[in-house]
């Protein structure tokens, strides 16, 4: 399961980069209005922070320090910084998932993310679903603002 999951994470992180590239106007990348609470740029920062924390630190043993508040409050971050963050995340996902032995899939994830321990398989599927949930939001956000 690790190999296909790795391919899916990488594929969809590359799609994240493409979604950010597709914004024609930098202003729209950071725009929120009406009931939209998070901009495409902030969701991108959030996905980077989330995966660098849980897969990079949790599985890859990196020392990334998450700035969760900035993920949602930061504005006008250069696209080149977002692209670099996505590329780094792809490498951390590749590194973190490559170290998982098949027998580890039935063990608990090495970090407690919620209030109690969760299984490796469940947590990885949750993280992948979380990536896709926000990827869809970014796509919709861009299309709505730049229609």
**pLDDT tens digits for 4-18?**
999 999 999 999 999
Q: How many structural domains are present in the chain?
A: 1
**pLDDT tens digits for 120-145?**
999 999 999 999 999 999 999 999 99
> pLDDT at position 33, please?
84
Is there a contact between 64 and 53 (Cβ–Cβ < 8 Å)? Answer: yes
16-42 b/e with 16+ CB inside 10 Å = b?
Answer: bbebbeebeeeebbbbeeeeeebbbbb
143 to each of 20, 138, 139, 147, how far by Cα in Å?
12, 9, 6, 5
CATH number of 79's domain: 1.20.120.450
Cα 25 from Cα 1, distance rounded (Å):
39
**Token digits of residue 19:** 């979604």
Q: What is the pTM of this model?
A: 0.95
**pLDDT tens digits for 70-83?**
999 999 999 999 99
Predicted confidence (pLDDT) at residue 34 exceeds the cutoff of 90: no
**Structural domain boundaries, residue 18:** 2-145
């Amino acid at each position: 399961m690790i190999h296909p999951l790795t391919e899916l994470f990488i594929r969809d992180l590359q799609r994240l980069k493409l979604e950010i590239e597709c914004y024609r106007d930098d202003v729209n990348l950071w725009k929120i209005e009406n009931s939209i609470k998070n901009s495409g740029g902030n969701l991108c920062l959030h996905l980077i922070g989330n995966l660098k924390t849980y897969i990079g630190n949790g599985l890859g043993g990196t020392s990334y320090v998450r700035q969760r508040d900035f993920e949602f409050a930061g504005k006008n971050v250069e696209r080149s910084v977002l692209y670099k963050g996505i590329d780094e995340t792809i490498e951390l996902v590749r590194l973190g998932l490559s170290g998982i032995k098949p027998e580890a899939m039935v063990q608990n994830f090495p970090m407690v993310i919620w209030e109690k321990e969760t299984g490796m398989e469940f947590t990885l599927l949750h993280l992948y679903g979380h990536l896709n949930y926000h990827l869809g939001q970014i796509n919709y956000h861009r299309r709505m603002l730049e229609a």
